[in-house]
Amino acid sequence: MSEITLVEAVRLALARAMEEDETVLLLGEDIGIDGGVFRATDGLIERFGERRVMDTPLSESLFAGLAVGLGAQGFRPVVEYQFMGFIYPAIDQVVNHAGRLRNRTRGRLTCPMVIRAPYGGGIHAPEHHSESMEALFAHIPGIRVVIPSSPAHAYGLLLAAIRDPDPVVFLEPKRIYRAPKEEIADDGVATPLDQCFTVREGRDVTLITWGAMIIETLAAAETLAAEGVEAEVIDVATLKPLDMATILSSVERTGRCAIIHEAPLSGGVGAEIAAGLANRGLVNLLAPVGRVAGYDTVMPLPRLEIYYMPTQERILRTVRRVLAYA
């Protein structure tokens, strides 16, 4: 067992999956010799060879289509996009083929492919490098959307995604790629998909979040605890399909809720969660659901990025407003 970062946990999971299953292939721009932009695949071409770790041309739609074909024919391709902002040319393949293949063939074929991409802001990168567009993929039928928030979850969830018989979009919050660290045993044990994780228990308010925003949310919960308010923190982890049962159970106990995400407010996954609470948990709510999110604008890079990103202070203001509601 060793203490590693989130990006190292991704590499560890990829290596484990490739060791266990020779049908697991890696595709992407500069993932071989260079080891990827963030070095997530560093050293894997030396271990597994260029037939299983393949550098692709600069054609995002092309290698998404290649992955669909490989998945349909018995392979388990894992595709890396350098940044989420580069993933959009692949949406044609994801919507029209990967997400439809099981239904189109009435179950005769499946598409066990994983699309990996660093996502989110916080590193002062140029345009197209700080996107949080997870809601686009959550809207596509037939697609799972998974976002880890820690090294342990990155390892276990990625293994589960690779082993899943259907396509998974696996978004990695690059702001926490190298901090914090966790001890992880490379035991090949997958973390279950399609369920939320309660990372802090509480009785007064439920805070729902995912990805890198877990850092600010837990910090806000610590501040609230010093004020005598015990916040329960839920890491959604799998955004599609959404585990509303865990969320509803928490809100039934606390009666109050705030949803925190980095993506723009309008049309976000937070809105879907709020709708689920309104439809199935309204009788348990003692206050309107609070939401803390990015703004409905392109990430204002680079100097205004800190004003766009939800902060601990913004979370606390929203939670206090929810708590004050009579």
**Residue 53: CB partners within 8 Å, gap ≥ 6?**
25, 26, 31, 32, 41, 44, 45
- Cα–Cα nearest to 193, from 225, 215, 162: 162
Q: How far apart are CA 96 and CA 7, in angstroms?
A: 30
Question: Which pairing describes strands 76-80 and 24-28: parallel, antiparallel, or unpaired?
Answer: parallel
Lookup: tokens for 55? 């550098």
Q: How far apart are CA 308 and CA 297, in angstroms?
A: 9
97, 128, 129, 139: which one is catalytic? Answer: 129
Cis peptide before 241 (omega within 30 of 0): yes
- Angle among Cα 240, 316, 179 to the nearest 5 degrees reads 60
97 counts as catalytic: no
Cis peptide before 302 (omega within 30 of 0): yes
Q: How far is CA 313 from CA 87, 228, 320, in A?
A: 32, 17, 11
- Angle among Cα 297, 303, 309 to the nearest 5 degrees reads 50
Residues catalogued as catalytic = 129
